[in-house]
Chain A
Amino acid sequence: MSSVAQKKGFGATLWDWLTTVDHKKIGILYFLGGGFFFVVGGIEAMLIRWQLHKPNNDFVSAGLFNDLITMHGTTMIFLAAMPILFGFMNAIVPLQIGARDVAFPFINSLGFWMFFFGGLFLNLSWFFQQVPDAGWTSYASLSIASEGHGVDFYAIGLQIAGGGTLMAGINFLVTIINMRAPGMTYMRMPLFTWTTFVASAMILFAFPPLTVGLFFLTFDRMFGGNFFDHTMGGNTIIWEHIFWIFGHPEVYILILPAFGIFSEIFSTFSRKRLFGYPSMVFATVLIGFLGFMVWAHHMFTVGLGPTANAIFAVATMAIAVPTGVKIFNWLLTMWGGSIRITTPMLYALGFIPSFVMGGVTGVMQGAAPLDYQLHDTYFIVAHFHYVIVGGVVLGILAATHYWWPKMFGTMLNEALGKVTFWFFFIGFHLTFLIQHWLGFWGMPRRVWTFMDGQGWNSANFISTIGAFLMAIGIIVLVYNVIVTSVKNVKVANDPWGDGRTLEWAIESPPIYYNFPATPLVRGLDTVWIEKMEGNETGLTPAEPIKDIHMPNGSIIPLLMSLGLFIAGFGAMYRTEESWGLPVLIFGLLWTFVAMAARSLQDDTGYYIKKDEILRDLKRKGGQK
Chain B
Amino acid sequence: MTNHWVDIKNADVVLIMGGNAAEAHPCGFKWVTEAKAHNKARLIVVDPRFTRSASVADVYAPIRTGTDIAFLGGVIKYLLTEDKIQHEYVRSYTDLSFIVREDFAFTDGLYSGYNPEKRSYDKSTWDYEFGHDGYVKTDPTLEHPRCVYQLMKRHYARYTPEMVERVCGTPKEKFLQVCEIIGSTAPPNRAMTVMYALGWTQHSVGTQMIRAGAMMQLLLGNIGVSGGGMNALRGHSNIQGLTDLGLMSNLLTGYLTLPGEKEQEYDKYIAARAFKPLRPNQLSYWQNYNKFHVSLMKAWWGDAATRENNWAYDYLPKLDKGYDMLQTFELMSQGKMNGFICQGFNPLAAAPNKAKMTGGLAKLKFLVIMDPLATETSEFWRNYGEHNDVDPSKIQTEVFRLPTSCFAEEDGALVNSGRWLQWHWKGAEPPGEARTDLEIMGELFTRLRALYKSDGGAFPDPIVNLYWPYAVAKSPSPEELAKEYSGRALQDVTDPKNPTQVIRKAGEQLAGFAELRDDGSTLSGCWLYCGAWGPNGNLMARRDNSDPTGIGQTLNWAYSWPANRRVMYNRASCDPSGKPFNPDRKLIAWNGTAWTGADVPDYKADEDPALGMGPFIMNAEGVARFFGRGNLAEGPFPEHYEPFESPLARNPLSPAQEQTLSNPAARVFKDDRAAFGKVAEFPHVATTYRLTEHFHYWTKHVRLNAILQPEQFVEIGEGLAKEFGIASGDRVKVSSNRGFIKAVAVVTKRLRTLPADGKPVHTVGIPIHWGFTGLAKPGFLANTLTPVVGDGNSQTPEFKSFLVKVEKL
A joins B in a complex: no
Give B residues with C-beta under 8 Å from A.
none
A residues lining the B interface (CB < 8 Å): none
